[in-house]
Amino acid sequence: MFDWASPYPSVRLPVFGRNVVATSHPLAVQAGLRMLLRGGNAVDAAVAAAATMTIVEPCSNGLGSDAFCILWDGEQLHGLNASGHAPAAWTPEYFTRRYGVAPTLPTRGWDSVTVPGAVGAWAALSARFGKLPFADLLEPAIEVAERGYAVPVVVAQKWRAAEPILRDKPGFAETFLPNGRAPTIGERFAMPAAARTLRAIAESRGESFYRGEVAAAMVAHAAANGGSMTAADLANYRPEWVDPIGIDYAGHRMHQIPPNGQGIATLIALGIVRHFDLASLPVDSVDAYHLQIEAMKLAFADAYRHVCDARSAHVTSDQLLDEAYLASRARLIDPRRAQVFESGTPLRGGTIYLSAVDENGMMVSFIQSNYMGFGSGVVVPDWGVSLQNRGHGFSLDPTSPNVVAPGKRPFHTIIPAFLTKDGQPQMSFGVMGANMQPQGQLQTVVRMLDHRQHPQAACDAPRWRFNQDLEINVEATMDPKLVQGLAERGHRIDVIDDSYQDFGAGQFIWRLGDPARDGYVAASDPRRDGQAGAF
């Protein structure tokens, strides 16, 4: 299986158990474990953890987030796309009238907000697969929102960075700047308004959020602050069950949600690097890193050009994952020289990922995000609803398949992942952080499958990040000789000592065998405040 030795310094060790929850805040882990201890399943645990995360890591997600999920129900995989669509008023002309000829849609404010999908995801998952009453799942989040919690280290860092950018956005300061500033490390923060909304969601199984009092509050706030979101936009929203797409790699199959998410970039990159014998190369070598970086560039070149709402796609997922096409892309790589493959300029973002599994074999890979830090910056203050800015992912180029249109879903960065072997579940995992997500997934999967590194070691290893053209970032912990070797290949390198912002954060749960007998091993990224918890 794995080499259980770890060659990297770490503050974490692998966690073993038959029931596991892993995410980036301990209180959310505990919320999930509480549901499992009550007799709930992995879906119950995931929903409870996700709801709690909206309170304890508000820089990365909120009640107005979007979400995606891949889950194994004990027999097969299911995918859920809970990304939101554009308001009916949104057309290219709508934005040019308001902002003139601009290269992109607004980054913040109500004109960056699409219909939020996360609450719809919680309700849909619970209704189809949950065991416990839906209202029970939101109890931990309500408790934390009302009583408050001590702000942890990484969240405080992100909060402080957002303060000067978002202070003037509608409702932001009132909600997120108590005492006129961002909370400091260890300072208590509470969200009683969010607790009010969570209670309404709990009592109505989410209906109040889309077709009730919370929806009415969002529409009124939009109208008062220049937004175009209507009651019909919210009432017409439904998350969509989808079939995951996948590709074979190293005796396993990697699964992703199909576009409009960028998960296909991970699949393309794996489909390219499987044309090279990475397992024969030292895991932390210039050759191994260079091949993965070049494959990731090619994958992004295609993802940024073609990924959009599937109803508007010019190219299908099957075409992008065609073996002959991937082989032709692999032939473009020069093993000795870095190249430019005309990818777009990646965007930075804020996201939470969680995984939950149970001893009956259910495994849930769930991701929830407000996109950039604190999303749009817009908060409906009396209800504590902070809203994502996923509308910024649309294009204003009329020739782009991702051009903005009423009711359309934008290009999405968040991508839960799932690994199977011989048709059976193997690992539920994800790596948070905008365009770092497919890059982090590629790097950790190669480490585990090609080099037998256990999940925590693969998580702890120093990471690289492709930006654009020949530019990459590397973590400050990377071997200087390796950095020099990459520079000699032509990579333009910036060494970064801010792992939270630039290198993502992962959660991994690997099935060891029969879950009731052998259980799972889990890893949680030291780049964030979280943990893996088990019993």
**Buried b vs exposed e over 350-377: b needs ≥16 C-beta within 10 Å?**
bbbbbbbbbbebbbbbbbbbbbbbbbbb
Question: Cα separation of 68 and 417, whole Å?
Answer: 10
Going by C-beta distance under 8 Å and a sequence separation of 6 or more, which residues neighbour residue 11?
Answer: 526
Question: Cα separation of 257 and 259, whole Å?
Answer: 7
Edge-to-edge strand ranges of the sheet holding 363-371: 240-242, 77-82, 66-72, 363-371, 350-357, 20-23, 531-534
Going by C-beta distance under 8 Å and a sequence separation of 6 or more, which residues neighbour residue 213?
Answer: 200
pLDDT band with cut points at 50, 70 and 90 for residue 114? very high
- Kindly tell me the number of DSSP H helices and DSSP E strands found in the chain: 20, 21
Helix, strand, or coil here: 264?
Answer: helix
Question: Cα separation of 347 and 393, whole Å?
Answer: 9
With a pLDDT cut of 70, the percent of the chain lying above it is 98
Residue 501: its pLDDT value, please? 58
Residue 500: its pLDDT value, please? 57
Instruction: Show the tokens assigned to 156.
Output: 């405080």
pLDDT band with cut points at 50, 70 and 90 for residue 348? very low
With a pLDDT cut of 90, the percent of the chain lying above it is 93
Question: Cα separation of 35 and 529, whole Å?
Answer: 21
Nearest partner of 111 among 138, 80, 85, 90, judged by Cα: 90
pLDDT digits (tens, 9 = 90+) for 180-216: 999 999 999 999 999 999 999 999 999 999 999 999 9
Question: Cα separation of 254 and 256, whole Å?
Answer: 7
CB 387 within 8 A of CB 62: yes
Amino acid found at 125? L
pLDDT digits (tens, 9 = 90+) for 245-258: 999 999 999 999 99
Nearest partner of 462 among 435, 438, 482, judged by Cα: 482
Alpha helices for 15-152 (secondary structure H)? 26-37, 42-56, 92-99, 118-129, 134-137, 139-147
Angle between helices 263-273 and 436-451 (to 10 degrees): 40
Question: Cα separation of 245 and 417, whole Å?
Answer: 10
Contacts within 8 Å (CB) and 24+ apart, 94-99: 94/228, 95/396, 95/404, 96/396
Going by C-beta distance under 8 Å and a sequence separation of 6 or more, which residues neighbour residue 308?
Answer: 259, 260, 400, 401, 402, 410, 411
Instruction: Show the tokens assigned to 191.
Output: 């969200």
Share the mean pLDDT of the chain: 95
Least confident of 66-80, 152-166, 336-350, 434-448: 336-350
pLDDT digits (tens, 9 = 90+) for 442-480: 999 999 999 999 999 999 999 999 999 999 999 999 999
pLDDT digits (tens, 9 = 90+) for 59-109: 999 999 999 999 999 999 999 999 999 999 999 999 999 999 888 899 999
Provide the 10 A C-beta neighbour count for residue 71.
Answer: 29
pLDDT digits (tens, 9 = 90+) for 498-525: 755 579 999 999 999 999 999 999 999 9
Beta bridge partners of 334: 337
Question: Cα separation of 18 and 473, whole Å?
Answer: 37
Residue 349: its pLDDT value, please? 55
Q: What are phi and psi of 279, to 5 degrees?
A: -65, -25
Least confident of 1-10, 280-289, 291-300, 323-332: 1-10
Among candidate residues 52, 175, 266, 351, the one labeled active-site is 351
Whether 184 is catalytic? no
With 0-12 / 13-18 / 19 or more C-beta atoms within 10 angstroms meaning exposed / middle / buried, residue 311 is exposed
pLDDT digits (tens, 9 = 90+) for 283-313: 999 999 999 999 999 999 999 999 999 999 8
Question: Cα separation of 183 and 176, whole Å?
Answer: 8
Instruction: Show the tokens assigned to 49.
Output: 């953890």
Residue 93: its pLDDT value, please? 96
Residue 433: its pLDDT value, please? 85
pLDDT band with cut points at 50, 70 and 90 for residue 333? very high
| Mean pLDDT value of segment 158-175 | 96
Residue 498: its pLDDT value, please? 72
pLDDT digits (tens, 9 = 90+) for 384-408: 999 999 999 999 999 999 999 999 9
pLDDT digits (tens, 9 = 90+) for 19-55: 999 999 999 999 999 999 999 999 999 999 999 999 9
Instruction: Show the tokens assigned to 381.
Output: 């203050």
Return the HEC string of 280-296.
Answer: HCCCCCHHHHHHHHHHH
Question: Cα separation of 308 and 262, whole Å?
Answer: 9
